[in-house]
Amino acid sequence: MRIVLAAVCAALIAAPAMAATVTEASVLWQWTGPYDGLPPFDKADPKLFDAAFEAGIKAQQADIAAIVANPAPATFDNTIVALERSGKQLDRNGRIFGVMTANVSNAEWQALDKRWAPRLSAAADAINFDKRLFERMNAVLADPGKMTPEQLRLAQRYRDRLARSGAGLDDAGKAKLGALNQQLATLFADFSARLLADENSWTVVDSEAALAGMPAANIAAYRAAAARNGAPDKFFIVNTRSAVDPLLTFATDRRLRETVWKKFVARGDNGDANDTNALIADIVRLRAERAKLLGFATHADWRMQDTMAKTPAAATALMMRVWPAAIARVGEEVADMQKIADAEKAGITIAPWDYRFYAEKVRKARYDLDQAELKPYFALENMIEASYWAAGKLYGFTFTEVTGKVPVFAPTVRVWEVRDGKRGFVGLFYRDDFARAGKRSGAWATSYRSPSSFDGPVTVLSSNNNNFTEAAPGESVLISLADARTLFHEFGHALHALSSQVRYPGLGGTPRDFVEYPSQFNEHWVLTPEVLDKFARHYKTGAAMPTALIAKIEASDKFNQGFATTEGLSSALVDMALHTLPGGIVDPDAFERDTLTKLGMPAQLVMRHRLPHFGHLFQSDAYSAGYYSYLWSEVMDADTWAAFTESKTPWDPAIAARYKAEVLATGNFPDRGEAFRRFRGRDPEVKALLEKRGFPTN
């Protein structure tokens, strides 16, 4: 059970006149049909959710009331297992609602989100603040000898989670904390709506001539985006990364690059109705106030209790070990680019909107490699098949498409049955690959139903969501090498879920600085010779990628790592600095600027996620004080890849089986540090990460 949503006073859950009855809304939680029941995305009408959420809260209230009113002494079964079984109705409502607001949002969904976010927060707090429940958990833990090690870990995690959520506060403290949580929930919903509005915009280009230098496939995609929006004679560069990055890489028109870049990095920072700076200032202040109330020095200290790093100092120490080498490499990269610009008599100083463009020129000069030359070999459909093939070769999975037989939330969503060679059928995998109006930017993975076996095996429902640009009708969707890595990355999350064999749902998740480890590790398989030979085939001729071109890719593998490292790591460092402010009083734009100045951020690039559009941080608490997780996880990822490549072949079945058994299958039991040691025989070493990025290891 995710500890969410329980008893809450009628005043909190009162909503506008319901648009649907409870009976009508029940379709949302009564998952029917094959595969242990399926989420009815095709019936997810916004008008159902007021009734669904109210009914779900009442059902959860009854579940919790039964647990705390049980006259029998508290045991693992009548308290912890009962909690694991509670709240299923509301959990199903929430999962469907989350999918719809992330993928097909509009004003109606956003209004629901804003209306219910504080109410659901209040309902969650009703569980967290229940003294009787906390006492029962402490009673269970008072006799640890009656539990298995797995059960003990689950019970401890429940108790610790409640403690961190305010269970030990007095009534006044709980009331104050509840108010803070509700305010934050409202601000998160506001931030999401404003960011989505800025991303659902575009730069209009009037003629194809203005797109000189762009690959034909990208031009066709821009034309198709314009046609879908009623302007068939124009070209639309939608304000999302998948559309913007190719233009910044290939377009020869510097003024167009500057225009598109400025629009993209200014999302949420335009002083208009969608500006997020005031929201961010409020969020950071309220987070600091909440942390102090809970007895922590800062929000980061509070958020990092249940992580591998444990403290802001440990996370920062790792980041600062890498940062100097990263910015030094940026200096070298910029110098190389400036030489080319000077030789061309461009009369410019390299600016942020020039970085990708001139980096490609350096790549071409140094390695005779043009990214546009690669794209015809990375057809989206082939890369999807490549990811499935690699999962089969490594872990014994097979994928059989069943699209059309399963309810979906958009016409382009596809679905596969997944089988494990040893376990048989394990789940369904959903793919939502394309950008659309109402869909948030980026790429992510979601579980609609997580694995567990304490009540019998269930069908895992896992999904990947990307924002690739659709091709014109009849054309192949071509993606970049970076996009292919993103595809494999998100698929790594799905493999983690599909491999999991946990008994209790509460041990299914992992610390956030571990969760990116399997996904980042899965990126390595894109450039293996076997994958390239079978799947990196020309989208028109079917010819394999030439050996000489593969050699160029391998030779340039560490190219531009200064840029790649610095833009992500700067975001993580600013995140940590922001959330270690004890008072939380901040002007977001000024703080971002001043922090980057202190860090010596190169002027030629910006954070991958500037604060005004940093959804990881401000759409929820999930990754706040946690963006460092990607680097922390990459240490384990790089060390794991070293274990595979130390063998005669990276496809060694014994190593893959051990990795699957010790890392992918085990959820959050045992402790994740112990799980890594069982796989690798020791703690992870940062040396492999530095070598992977081509940085000095001393």
How many domains does one find in the chain? Answer: 4
**Same-domain pairing of 471 and 505:** yes
Overall residue count recorded for the chain in this entry: 698
Q: CA dist 305 to 163, 289, 378, 420, 609, Å?
A: 11, 17, 41, 35, 25
Does some domain include residue 635?
no
**Same-domain pairing of 79 and 56:** yes
**Same-domain pairing of 104 and 207:** no
- Classify residue 111 as exposed, middle or buried by CB count within 10 Å of its CB (0-12, 13-18, 19+): middle
**Same-domain pairing of 299 and 353:** yes
Res 3: pLDDT: 32
**Same-domain pairing of 478 and 352:** no
- C-alpha 665/C-alpha 445 separation (Å) is 17
Does some domain include residue 4?
no
Given the residues 84, 417, 470, 490, the one annotated as active site: 490
Residue 16 has pLDDT above 70, yes or no: no
* Of 212, 235, 265, the domain-final residue: 265
Res 5: pLDDT: 29
pLDDT band at 2 (very low <50, low <70, confident <90, very high): very low
Residue 504 has pLDDT above 60, yes or no: yes
Q: What tokens appear for 255 in the block? A: 């003024």
**Same-domain pairing of 313 and 424:** no
**Same-domain pairing of 238 and 308:** no
Residue 44 has pLDDT above 50, yes or no: yes
pLDDT one-digit tens code per residue, 218-237: 999 999 999 999 999 999 99
What's 160's domain CATH number? 1.10.1370.40
Res 472: pLDDT: 85
675, amino acid identity: A
647, amino acid identity: S
Q: What angle do CA 57, 63, 65 make, to 5 degrees?
A: 100
Does some domain include residue 187?
no
HSE of 661, CA atoms in CB hemisphere, 13 A: 10
Contacts 24+ apart (CB under 8 A), 338-345: 340/365
Res 698: pLDDT: 79
pLDDT one-digit tens code per residue, 359-410: 999 999 999 998 889 999 999 999 999 999 999 999 999 999 999 999 999 9
**Same-domain pairing of 438 and 518:** yes
What's 603's domain CATH number? 1.10.1370.10
| Mean pLDDT value across residues 140-146 | 97
**DSSP for 222-291, written as a single string:** HHHHHHHTT-TTSEEEESSHHHHHHHHHH---HHHHHHHHHHHHTTT-SSSTT--HHHHHHHHHHHHHHH
**Same-domain pairing of 365 and 390:** no
Q: CA dist 334 to 40, 323, 354, 355, 604, Å?
A: 51, 17, 10, 8, 8
Cβ atoms of 592 and 609 within 8 Å: the answer is: no
Q: Is residue 490 annotated as part of the catalytic site, yes or no?
A: yes
Residue 487 has pLDDT above 50, yes or no: yes
Res 4: pLDDT: 32
**Same-domain pairing of 30 and 162:** yes
Cβ atoms of 136 and 68 within 8 Å: the answer is: yes
Does some domain include residue 290?
yes
Beta bridge partners of 429: 416, 462
At residue 3, what are phi and psi to the nearest 5 degrees? Answer: -75, 90
pTM of the model: 0.94
Residue 536 has pLDDT above 90, yes or no: yes
Does some domain include residue 677?
no
Residue 7 has pLDDT above 50, yes or no: no
Domain extent at residue 229: 201-265
pLDDT band at 19 (very low <50, low <70, confident <90, very high): low
Does some domain include residue 260?
yes
Looking at per-residue confidence, does 34 or 371 come out higher?
A: 34
Does some domain include residue 239?
yes
Does some domain include residue 181?
no
**Same-domain pairing of 20 and 133:** yes
| Strand-strand pairing, 414-420 and 202-205 | unpaired
| Mean pLDDT value across residues 181-208 | 97
* Of 265, 293, 318, the domain-final residue: 265
pLDDT band at 317 (very low <50, low <70, confident <90, very high): very high
* Of 568, 598, 627, the domain-final residue: 627
Residue 622 has pLDDT above 80, yes or no: yes
Q: What tokens appear for 608 in the block? A: 């991958």
pLDDT one-digit tens code per residue, 663-692: 999 999 999 999 999 999 999 999 999 999
**Same-domain pairing of 147 and 24:** yes
Residue 9 has pLDDT above 70, yes or no: no
- C-alpha 257/C-alpha 244 separation (Å) is 9
